[in-house]
Structure 1
Amino acid sequence: MRIGFAVPQFGPFADPHSSARTCAALEELGCHSLWVADRLLSPVVPPEGYPGGGQMSGRYGIHLDPLLALGAAAAATERVRLGSSTLNALWQPPLVLARALTTLDLISRGRLDVGIGLGWMREEYQAAGVPWQGRGERLEETLDVLDAVWRADPVVHTGKLWTIAESTVHPKPFQGPRPPILLGGFAPPALERVGRRADGWLAASMPLALLDGLWAVVAAAAEQAGRDAAGLRRVFRVNAEVTTVEADPSETYRRGTVRQICDHLRVMCTAPNDEVFVDLQMVTDSPEEYLDLAGAFLTELTAE
């Protein structure tokens, strides 16, 4: 199991210099990867579709740009993989997105994992001026454009939403022919897209029965597309609610002591390509607290 952490970028961690220093310290602790998330705003009125129908943390309204935060992390580190889980890819034209991601891959000398998804908040789409309807089709063409920009020379694309005349688009990414693309999502069309088009799935810590059912959709789609699902990566985000006393065993996929949460992750991660990353930004208030708790997770997850 590979072990990563969230790049500090929300709430009290929304300081690029402090974030970069913390990323360097996380690398020193021995983690495998660092991951950014993507939020534009935190509505005062609970947004439609928010899990549980409750209020979003106000920390999401204080945030660093994910790609710039990842660039700062790249400059501050030397070894760790650098990813996004997830980058809401539809808020900018795909050619512009490809340029930014290529630059990040070059800055990091080939350490970038491109994790993208559709997002879930209508309010962000409205604020970004991007249609909510047709998101899946828009993502499919976004993937087509990224593939054309990174694989072809010269680049040309003609689609329903975007047209790129035959053009020179350089430089190409450090990783050839392109950085790994990981896709998020839990609905059947998103899972099918993972199996058909992606190098891996951006998931979350969840009950094992739910995981088995969702992964079966990915595996079936991969088989139908002539691909081997065993070669796909699975990256599980852990939004840890850390408790000092043991939680109900049925809840340890999302809350519990460090040991309880790690025990669940060990049972969940059964494939050689499986990876977890723990987001501690909602349960700590300072870089020192973040690093102390990250160290506890690393110690527990790497224990024999």
Structure 2
Amino acid sequence: MKENQIKNAELMKEVINVLAAEILKTYKVDRSSLFELLSDSVMSNKDLIDIIEKETDFKKVARTRVYKDFSNKVKRNLYNQLRRYYQDADDVDKIVDKFKELQTGSEESKNYIKSLLQYHVSTRERMTDFDNFYDPIKKYILESEKIIDIGCGLNPLMVPFNSDGSKVVKYIAADRDKKSVKIIEAYSAWLGDGRLIGVNWDLKEGWQELFKKTGVESYDLALIMKVVPVVKRQQRELLSVLKETPANLLFITGSKTSMTKNSSIEKRERRDINNFIDECGYTKLLEFDKNEEFGWLVKKNYR
């Protein structure tokens, strides 16, 4: 049955429009995809369709247990989906095979890499600043011989570590997510210079374990992006591992808005990062501010 085939198509549209307005006010979701999702969800709910066909007033529909349960379920499922780091990503093996087909420096390769960056929530939020996101710290990236990217996701596809004049010898991209690391490895093989190394690693394993996996004991620059506040909320005890990051310079960032909701979390994240910087005794070298992300480049003070 299609939308326009039910007896009360106008009420059906009102149900969808009201739900969409509530969701768009709260959650960070694509408008067109949301309407398609709601339409399919309503049409597959026989009990709700029966009520819509019997009633003439949305308020009466909204008061029913069927509608309330449906509304809560849709919002709960949507919230859980938005919390996933990856959205509708291709099979990783297909991504690996695709890299083998791409010609380095081609327009097709640039567009494909941009499309991959849309899959992961962290890099997707950086796409509005894609062309200049790293400009404030680019010189520090290019002057670093060894870089560690903690909880990297797909960020290495965006970092200009292989730009002209780069001194980068090793870029260690560490993440506990095997999917991210496999994509990073495929990207590294495509680049073909051996500088980028993807590593499965969790903070709880400690720095000695990472050293065993990479052979790199210390770094010139550590990228710790959107990590500190998350670790503080979810695994507070692992902040001690972050405090031991073996790097001279650290680029520490946080999010301005929630990953799932249209709400500001900047004040909380600034507080968490500033506390972390103060506790470590780092010196701030520069402040970073973009549409969805903020942070500081800091220097470790040796005694």
What range is the shorter-chain TM-score in?
A: 0.3 to 0.5
- Structure of higher CA gyration radius: 2
Q: Is the helix fraction higher in 1 or 2?
A: 2
Q: TM-score, normalised by structure 2?
A: 0.33
Q: TM-score, normalised by structure 1?
A: 0.33
